[in-house]
Structure 1
Amino acid sequence: MKLKNTLGIAIGSIVAVTSFGVLAQGQGAVEGELFYKKQYNDSVKHIEDGFNPGARIGYFLTDDLSLDLNYDKTNHTRSNDGTGNQKIKGDTGSLLATYHFGQAGVDSLRPYVSGGFGHQSRTNVLADGHSGRDQSTLAIIGTGVKYYFTDNLFARAGVEADYAMDNGKWDYSALVGLGVNFGGNAGKVAPAPAPVPEPTPEPEAPVAEVVRVELDVKFDFDKSVVKPNSYADIKNLADFMKQNPQTTTVVEGHTDSVGPDAYNQKLSERRANAVKQVLTSQYGVESSRVQSVGYGESRPVADNATEAGRAVNRRVEAQVEAQAQ
């Protein structure tokens, strides 16, 4: 198949492939290219400069670094020693690492540098007394730029220098190419995540109002008998506890400072028990919900130096809290 037909089919295939929209640059991408280069043959005598068609396939190890396998044919080079138009044939294979600069994307320019090794073989070089070589190992460096028409289709222009390790001489080439890449992920803008709707705040529970019922029963001097005028207050406490069955209470007994401490302690306990007895026996509050305790004369609320103050200290206190329904 003629070269012209081969290039036409290849370029048509490149354009067709890019229409699928599945190609991309970046890490994991595979890049294929057809190129044509002007070869300046300085390392071998009696050979004209030529034009070498070739192909390249590369794999991106990262978004910027690719490993490229290259192959080109020496099809249009001739002897120039005056013996006639003897055609020189040959080929070159190489493995290059290529580092790209800039960002991938539509209408982007990506300069690059490359380096690696290759092997070159030429036929007919030794014929008719020519003094050139037929094979050589090459060290190759290059630079250039790629222009991306789309995320997938690009053109390349670059230069390369080949150092022949056999004779220590350099050859040079200038090249242009057209290629595609596929399978990577660079140059694509990730779709913005769908906004997450803010959670609808749950309606705040109404703040429960705390209702408190207090009891303050007074006693005569040295007595622990509940006076009749205190029964109504005790009943209010009992009614409240019945309306709020989850409530409990502590009935606290107190005395004034007259008398020994030990005696007053016992007296305060009897007073607390007397109020508890009225709550449970007379008004029906469960005994398990009422605790009684005596504090003797240790917690005065008034001055024990006066009769009025001592009367205030001879008391039983209780309180109950509940949330309003």
Structure 2
Amino acid sequence: MKLKKTFLAVAAALPLLSANVLADTVTAADLKERVFGSLFGEYYMPDTDKTESAAWSYMEKDWGYGIELGYYLTENWALRAEYARMEMQSKLDGTDVNGNRYGIDAMYHLSNMPALYLVGGIKRMDAAQNTTAFNLGVGYKHFFNQNFALFAEANRYQGIDESYGDAGIKLGMSYLFGSAAAKAAPTPAPAPAPVRAQPVAPVPVADTDGDGVPDNIDNCAGTPAVHKVDASGCTVYVEKMAAVGDIDIEVRFPFDSAVVGAEQRDDVDNLGAFMQRFTESTVMIEGHASNIGNPAYNMRLSERRATAVADILKNDFNVDPSRISAVGYGVTKPRVEGNTPEAHAANQRIEAKVTAKIKEPVLR
């Protein structure tokens, strides 16, 4: 009975310690999903029957020590494993009655007072005899900061395979590993809705050409309705390289000659001026011949004549050679079929195929 009164007195004192002495600085949310370890000293009080029984070596109340390792599963629940060394003596002759205690506990922390907790578990003890007991108790942890805490705990150990009721009081230090999860910032109060001025109806602005740009900012009045326009009302163009067509160059060569005479330069000069103006244009000079004489000879002759025109563009108009190609086709691409004087005159020619950058309007 005296042992039970001592246990109840300690259990009743823990809430008073929480309320009057220690100031808690950690909330239940700060404990969640954290590992903790503890070192403790313990005053162990065997059942009165043990102190008066030879089977229990007349063990006396005495001190012990131990370690704990645990984990906070939620804001309220935690699990821990415990090992304690029980350093007790025999009341009869003072000999050692040492033993070990180890087991697991479940801990429940009160939501409105997380420093105060209830504990229950099962233990195996080998002091004097090997026995198993379940324990129930109450404890208190005072947190100095997010990691260190001082704790006090009282337990009653009720034998399962042997009939006894021991008690123990622990004092120790706990260390919580890691840090508490960051707390979400409070949601700020919504700002008051601004007072909105009454909308003023806009004054319509004319769009004479119907391109979607008002006349007061339209810099290109009268654009076609099918053209896409920019913010200034002007047609949007896209540039691309495209063939601008074949240009016939009327160059007459003396018999068996590839020299361009001065009287034959007008068309060549016009082509050179065009390529000087449009610096991204390119040209393919094609030499053709009539179907008179040896075809192989006519092929070489057409090549020399095409090269002669290309050289004029390079040398007299400074057109980059990379922009000029020259090829002879001989009699292979006649403009007019037949062996008449008219067909021969039409086929004795030089053609220029010009490609230049052109601008095309983008359509809606």
TM-score range, shorter chain: 0.5 to 0.7
Equivalents in 2 of 1:118, 1:242: separation in Å? Answer: 101
Match of 2:328 among 295, 298, 301: 295
- Cα RMSD, aligned residues only: 5.0
Q: How many aligned positions are there?
A: 256
Q: Specify the alignment match of 2:318 in structure 1.
A: 286
Match of 1:141 among 103, 106, 114: 103
Greater strand proportion: 1
Asked if 1:94 corresponds to 2:66, the answer is: yes
Distance 1:320 1:148, change over 3 A: farther
AA at the equivalent of 1:136: G
Equivalents in 2 of 1:306, 1:13: separation in Å? Answer: 123
Q: Normalising by the residue count of structure 2, what TM-score does the alignment of the two structures yield?
A: 0.51
Asked if 1:117 corresponds to 2:61, the answer is: no
Asked if 1:165 corresponds to 2:132, the answer is: no
Structure 1 residues 130-182: Cα deviation after superposition (integer angstroms, max 9, x where no partner): 9x9632122x22232434748x9454322133322352113432122233453
| Structure 1 runs (4+) greater than 6 angstroms displaced | 220-223, 225-230
Q: Specify the alignment match of 1:44 in structure 2.
A: none
Distance 1:302 1:217, change over 3 A: closer
AA at the equivalent of 2:351: V
Distance 1:156 1:5, change over 3 A: closer
- Report 1:220-299 matches (<5 A): 233-245=267-279, 249-256=283-290, 258-279=292-313, 284-286=316-318, 288-289=320-321, 291-297=324-330
Match of 1:8 among 13, 17, 27: 17
Distance 1:133 1:173, change over 3 A: farther
Q: Give the conservation status (yes or no) of the 8 Å contact 1:261–1:296.
A: no
Q: Specify the alignment match of 2:155 in structure 1.
A: none
AA at the equivalent of 1:156: Y
Q: Give the conservation status (yes or no) of the 8 Å contact 1:269–1:292.
A: no
For 1:208, what is the secondary structure of its paired residue? Answer: strand
Distance 1:261 1:81, change over 3 A: closer
Equivalents in 2 of 1:82, 1:71: separation in Å? Answer: 21
- Give the drift of 1:263: 1.0
Q: Specify the alignment match of 2:117 in structure 1.
A: 156
- Give the drift of 1:211: 5.9
- Report 1:310-321 matches (<5 A): 311=346, 314-321=349-356
For 1:216, what is the secondary structure of its paired residue? Answer: strand
- Give the drift of 1:119: 0.5
State the identity as a percent. 16
AA at the equivalent of 2:318: E
Q: Specify the alignment match of 1:184 in structure 2.
A: 178
Distance 1:161 1:291, change over 3 A: closer
